[in-house]
Structure 1
């Protein structure tokens, strides 16, 4: 039935089969990217980011060598086999993800002239995976420089988001669906929520890359104070010199405290923005499940963050916190998608929002 509908709208049966394969591959890409992001987080949490001192190989080999060969390649960097294998596993998975992106591009090339085919999204995904590969290399060669580590995390989430957006576009095309109206643009409230989520993700990456996860003991206070001593200029000094190694961080306590407090303030602002967004659009029934899911995902992530502080950052809980960030990005992306595809509201609601924003 779906194939007949698609054929009736100018897509041949062969193209329909190809679209169905692409829908499946793009969904696999979403799931695979989540795995790669979480394995990358685990690599960092077990201090295996420099398990191999070179790139793309490990001590000059494409598999982890024995201790003797590693010593001859890098005499100043003794081999830690477990950490080296963790790092190389992450690289193997990331490389496989790149091959999947190329397969999607090649397999979909013949459909690029089909009306509604997301060819530009596919190209953006290829560009992002290439940039992400460069970030992976710089993470090693620049010895875990926090700027690069943070961008590497944001890049992984961006790849996942593009895979998800590509999947949604392909699924709609494969089903022969057409939007009744032109997709809605993001309003100021939606844009603010998306921007705050991006900034909070960047702050989370900055906390992690500077090892500031437990710079504050206790919650909601920090080290027994509501506003302890901080060094904001050093904590957010984005042009610091590179090296020699940022494993376990180089910042002093007050700078790490500033980073942690910044992350907490960002979480509060994001939560407020999401609450206002849900309150504003709750009267639109198609959006309620997605707005509720975003609020639920935020609540989970908030409590995971608090638990990490109170329990002194256990490995499994820190990994769960990264998974919570991934979940929140997915839910927000789905909420934005359904907002854009839903029927426009009456003009009086749009006017009310503009008046509220400018008040």
Structure 2
């Protein structure tokens, strides 16, 4: 396989990872996370039970769980896409280890991540939607997409950099101030933390705990409960629809709103700094558009009581924000490598002059 086709295999896998994230959000929001009560099959079958005879057998095997075919299909389609993603990442690893000039550690990290993600998918079912597992599963999906984007950027840089003449490298080289690099990294960490808070909000069914803006309609300051953020909750037969009390859910919801305010402030500062630079200005513009869209979707979720498509879109724009920050940080840090390449070529260019 040529490097060109290998690059496009990575692009395909990256797009598939976004589809898996969207399907995961759709599965969770349609309450289909337990659409199949077992793993990796469904009610003891390889696929969703078909026909009255199979459904009768499924009901006999799981007498306490009603067979809901539509939810079972939501869950299984998500599993099929996730399984395909894992196979493609395995293929990427095989090709990468056969190519001397291809990154090795990043594909290996991707493979480890997707294997752990599969375990989280299994535990989501076997531990009946335990919130810390559900949140971890969401973060694992976002991490997989981020690593795939990083791998695509690495491959693209290795393709382009040797083909650029020294004059072009010098002209396009950009040495960002260290303060901007630090700000980019801080913004990435803040957004990752906000995504984790969003995952915790969704896993504990706290998304509609407050229905007024900009503050919650209840006296949340007096009832703020830090126990709502304990990762290990008391054991329950099922965590579906949540097990926390109202004030705990309000505490989670308010924390997510405060996190959104902090995230917005940090991103606006980063966008302002990026806009002042000539090279990475487009990243600031892209972040601004994604942030505005994400805020609109978040507000709509509150005032319209979590519409399905809006909630799925909120997940997707969240991962897009994260990916844009991954690309921004890569841009801010990888230019050091471009400058090193320029310096390396400089004596060579002088010797031929």
Q: What TM-score do the two structures reach when normalised by structure 1?
A: 0.85
1:259-278 alignment to 2 at 5 Å? 259-278=252-271
The answer as to whether partners of 2:107 and 2:151 remain within 8 angstroms in 1 is: yes
- Looking at structure 2, the residues matched to 148 and 43 of structure 1 have their Cα atoms a distance apart, in angstroms, of 15
- Looking at structure 2, the residues matched to 208 and 223 of structure 1 have their Cα atoms a distance apart, in angstroms, of 20
RMSD: 2.1
- Looking at structure 2, the residues matched to 242 and 19 of structure 1 have their Cα atoms a distance apart, in angstroms, of 50
Residue from 105, 111, 130 that aligns with 1:120: 105
Residue from 20, 39, 47 that aligns with 1:55: 39
Residue from 298, 316, 339 that aligns with 2:332: 339
The answer as to whether partners of 1:122 and 1:166 remain within 8 angstroms in 2 is: yes
The answer as to whether partners of 1:22 and 1:170 remain within 8 angstroms in 2 is: no
- Looking at structure 2, the residues matched to 105 and 182 of structure 1 have their Cα atoms a distance apart, in angstroms, of 32
Q: Which moved more, 1:68-77 or 1:302-311?
A: 68-77
1:31/1:183 Cα in 2 relative to 1: closer, same or farther (>3 Å)?
Answer: farther
- Looking at structure 2, the residues matched to 204 and 251 of structure 1 have their Cα atoms a distance apart, in angstroms, of 16
The answer as to whether partners of 2:184 and 2:325 remain within 8 angstroms in 1 is: no
- Looking at structure 2, the residues matched to 183 and 146 of structure 1 have their Cα atoms a distance apart, in angstroms, of 43
- Looking at structure 2, the residues matched to 176 and 294 of structure 1 have their Cα atoms a distance apart, in angstroms, of 26
Residue from 231, 241, 244 that aligns with 1:248: 241
Residue from 118, 133, 139 that aligns with 1:154: 139
Deviation at 1:228, TM superposition (A): 5.1
Deviation at 1:343, TM superposition (A): 6.3
Residue from 189, 201, 204 that aligns with 2:195: 201
Question: 1:307-347 CA distances to partner (integer Å, 9 max, x unpaired)?
Answer: 11011111111111111112111211221122123469xxx
Question: 1:197-252 CA distances to partner (integer Å, 9 max, x unpaired)?
Answer: 11000000001000111101111021166x45534223112221233111110111
* Residue 300 (structure 2) pairs with residue 307 (structure 1): yes
Q: What TM-score do the two structures reach when normalised by structure 2?
A: 0.87
* Residue 322 (structure 2) pairs with residue 329 (structure 1): yes
Count of residues in correspondence between the two structures: 324
Deviation at 1:279, TM superposition (A): 2.5
Q: Which runs of no fewer than 5 residues in structure 2 stay unpaired?
A: 338-353
* Residue 163 (structure 2) pairs with residue 170 (structure 1): no
* Residue 164 (structure 2) pairs with residue 145 (structure 1): no
Q: Secondary structure at the match of 1:58?
A: coil
Residue from 91, 100, 120 that aligns with 2:88: 100
- Looking at structure 1, the residues matched to 319 and 226 of structure 2 have their Cα atoms a distance apart, in angstroms, of 29
Could you tell me which residue of structure 2 aligns to residue 80 of structure 1? 68
Residue from 186, 191, 194 that aligns with 2:185: 191
